[in-house]
Amino acid sequence: MIRSRFRWKTARDWLWPFACGLAAAGAWLWWRGLPEHSAVLFAAFIAAVLAVFAGHRAWQQHQIDAEMPTPPDPLPEVAREMFERLPDPLLLLDETGRAVFANAAMRAAVGADYRRKPLSVLLREPSIQQAVETVGPGEAPVTIEFSIPVPIERHFQAYVSRSAQAPLTFVLLHDLTAIKRTERMRADFVANASHELRTPLAAVSGFIDTLRGHARDDEQAREQFLGIMSVEAQRMRRLIEDLLSLTRIELNEHVPPSARVDLEPVVTSAAAALAPLAKSENISLQISAEPGLPPVLGDRDELTQLFQNLMHNAIKYGRSGGHVWVVLAPKDGMVSVAVRDDGEGIPREAIPRLTERFYRVDVKRSREKGGTGLGLAIVKHIVNRHNGRLQIESEAGAGSTFTVLLPALSKADAAVTEVL
């Protein structure tokens, strides 16, 4: 099995340079306008030289591999089975530094054809190679942190240790990507939140100084500045409220809600709170619900906030004098609530980022509309807590539809929650 693989590999190593050399030499000669038979001869000569060179190298490698006897299996069956089940990637190397065992998690990273390959071929991280060379039998494991920048940035911790009883070294990898990402998100979040608060705070402080200074006796300026200060103060209040909501929802995200909730009255009361805003923008807000809609398991306050955020956005980014439609319908064992507007829409590339904290398609426009950049992040967390799904369909200039799908309570479940 191994022998036939090497033979094929040798042939492959010959064929590629041969074909490339032939093509390159032929192209070059054709370009130079040489007679046909000289071109063919010359091309064949170049290709033969390349093929001999590459083939010789492959043959040498084949000799080295063939001479090396297959090592006896160093692991008892029970150890092999247990290592196989480890969630973290594990690699065992013999005393020559070649792989003798890789568990399923490691095979997923380095490929199934790992046997007898040197470490440097399997994990291209020089610090691990160095640790394997320096760690002594029975010594404490050497710990190394390293990152792989492409295709997706990933971070790992590697433990390298050598057995005191057998000529074996193990390399155990621990994936730190999720932890690092969370750390970075937290740092970004604190930086963003303080930046968002600092801007309105600076504006308010500036106007206070102006009012105390040269605008002290200017009645018109005072009215104007007080108006701006009030807008900025409201913005800070909204931001703090949204930050607190987000934190509260995140803290509860792992606790599934337990109340039986009918969505139609929730949507209607959320819409009622937004009616004055819709009126001021001259937007008509229409709600339609299919009769006999099943209830869901939910948290009424959170669901009210969810639909309020979606309808608020539909009004904010909708068309002045336009429409917002909210449609409730059952769909494949779920209840679907679609909030559609005929406003400015969202560019396709922005859609996957909308639920990130502080992400806005147009920061200036969001600020003018009193946005905090947290509304859809709150929506996403509420939907997650309710084990639901959020779908966003939009095209720039053609309006947007935000659809929330929540698992419907079956009749039997609904009866049980009623009794409880």
Which of residues 23 and 191 has its CB atom nearest to ligand ADP in the complex? 191
Cα torsion for 308, 310, 314, 317, to the nearest 10°? 110
298 binds ligand ADP (CB under 6 A): no
Out of 200, 294, 375, 388, point to the residue binding ligand ADP (CB under 6 A).
Answer: 375
Q: Which is nearer to ligand ADP, 86 or 398 (CB)?
A: 398
Could you give the CA distance from residue 331 to residue 227 in angstroms, rounded to a whole number?
A: 48
Instruction: Say how far apart CA 318 and CA 22 lie, in whole Å.
Output: 63
Residues 6+ apart with CB under 8 A from 15: 51
- The span of 29-37, 245-253, 277-285, 339-347 binding ligand ADP (CB under 6 A) equals 339-347
CA distance 293 to 295: 7
Is residue 346 a contact residue for ligand ADP (CB under 6 A)?
Answer: yes
Cβ–Cβ under 8 Å, residues 88 and 174 = yes
Task: Give me the least distance between CB of 311 and ligand ADP, in Å please.
Answer: 9
Phi, psi of 259 (to 5 degrees): -90, 150
Q: What is the nearest approach in angstroms of ligand ADP to the Cβ of residue 355?
A: 7
Region binding ligand ADP by CB under 6 A among candidate stretches 71-79, 164-172, 190-198, 372-380: 372-380
Residue of 17, 89, 294, 373 that binds ligand ADP (CB under 6 A) = 373
User: Considering the complex, what minimum distance in angstroms separates the CB of residue 305 from ligand ADP?
Assistant: 12
List, as own/partner pairs, every contact residues 69-77 make where C-beta atoms lie below 8 angstroms and the sequence separation is at least 24, other chains included: 70/2, 70/116, 71/100, 73/100, 74/100, 74/101, 74/166, 74/168, 75/100, 75/101
Of the candidate residues 366, 381, 382, 390, the single one contacting ligand ADP (CB under 6 A): 366
Candidate ranges 1-9, 174-182, 283-291, 355-363; the one touching ligand ADP (CB under 6 A): 355-363
CA angle 383, 385, 390 (to 5 degrees): 15
The DSSP line for 15-30 is: HHHHHHHHHHHHHHHH
Residue 360 sits in the site that holds ligand ADP (CB under 6 A):
yes
Contact call for residue 361 and ligand ADP (CB under 6 A): yes
d(CA 245, CA 239): 10
Candidates 130-138, 207-215, 220-228, 342-350 — which segment interacts with ligand ADP by CB under 6 A?
A: 342-350
Q: In the window 243-272, what residues touch ligand ADP (CB under 6 A)? A: none
The smaller minimum CB distance to ligand ADP, of residues 169 and 366, is found at 366
Give the span between the Cα atoms of 320 and 132, in whole angstroms.
67
* Contact call for residue 337 and ligand ADP (CB under 6 A): no
Pairing type for strands 169-175 and 259-261 reads: unpaired
CB of 343 to ligand ADP, least distance (A): 5
Residue 148 or 361 with smaller CB distance to ligand ADP:
361
DSSP 3-state assignment of 103? coil
Specify the residue, 171 or 374, whose C-beta has the smaller distance to ligand ADP: 374
User: Which span sits near ligand ADP by CB under 6 A: 68-76, 120-128, 279-287, 312-320?
Assistant: 312-320
CB of 268 to ligand ADP, least distance (A): 20
Q: Which of 341, 404, 405, 408 binds ligand ADP (CB under 6 A)?
A: 341
What are the beta bridge partners of residue 393?
401
Max Cα distance, the chain (Å): 99
- Based on the shown chain and the rule CB under 6 A, indicate whether residue 400 belongs to the binding site for ligand ADP: yes
**Measured distance CA(40)–CA(47) in Å, rounded:** 11
Q: How many chain residues bind ligand ADP (CB under 6 A)?
A: 21
Q: Which SS3 state, helix, strand or coil, does residue 337 take? A: strand
354 scored as a contact of ligand ADP (CB under 6 A) = yes
Question: CB within 8 A of 66, min separation 6: which ones?
Answer: 3, 6
When asked if residue 314 is in the footprint of ligand ADP (CB under 6 A), the reply is: yes
Using CB under 6 A, pick the residue from 119, 328, 334, 376 that binds ligand ADP.
Answer: 376
Contacting positions for ligand ADP (CB under 6 A): 313-314, 317, 341, 343-344, 346, 354, 359-362, 366, 371-377, 400
